[in-house]
Amino acid sequence: MPQERTAVVERKTNETDIKIRLELGSLESASEQTISIDTGIGFLDHMYHALAKHGRWSLTLACAGDLHIDDHHTAEDTAIALGMAFKKALGEPRGIRRFGHAYCPLDEALARAVVDISGRPYACIDLGLRREKVGALSCEMIPHVLHSFATAAGITLHVDVLRGDNDHHRAEAAFKALAVAIREAVSRTGANDVPSTKGVL
């Protein structure tokens, strides 16, 4: 019986108080999902919900942040905490595909995401957003969320929006593509090896 891949993370600073429970899904997941997101920033909730839904995660995420200042700390810190939870839930990357990629459209927008569960944090993000904000979330924070998640998760991440006129569509397509790519990368192969010539990740 495959081991359950779950994690609970609590991260409290002078700027944010975050509680996360995460259960990772994969290509073969058939269990019912539970998703509850409350960051205080509606569009950020929407992006995390898309990530969880299409990644086949069950995710509960609550954040009380200093939104009276701006959205920066809440967006950054929730991404860091989510990356920590992802890394903890995955555990030793043994018996997984390791690599994943996906293209996801949303109407006129098309996004590509490529993931390597590498143990080496790196992110190259090009979303081409033009607006100052989508809802209450600053557009400059959207790629920063992906960078922060990749760094805390210890993964290599490339996300590009290839076309699109609407920034809501561009951002959402990017999160959906990331979700599907991660779902592929963490899927079990049936083997028990570490997928690296080094023997460790």
Contact predicate 50/175, CB 8 Å: yes
- pTM (two decimals): 0.96
Q: 192 exposed, middle or buried (CB, 10 Å; 0-12, 13-18, 19+)?
A: exposed
* Beta pairing partners, 96: 188
Question: Among the residues of 123-197, which ranges form H helices?
Answer: 141-153, 167-185
Nearest to 173 by CA among 117, 113, 123: 113
Q: Strand 133-134 and strand 137-138: pairing?
A: antiparallel
- Mean predicted lDDT score pLDDT of the chain: 95
- Structure tokens belonging to residue 110: 């098309």
CB atoms within 10 A of CB 111: 26
Q: Which residue has the higher pLDDT, 195 or 77?
A: 77
What pLDDT shows up at residue 149?
98
Q: Give tens-digit pLDDT for 115-168.
A: 999 999 999 999 999 999 999 999 999 999 999 999 999 999 999 999 999 999
Beta carbons within 10 angstroms of residue 106's beta carbon: 21
Instruction: Look at residue 149 and give its three-state secondary structure.
Output: helix
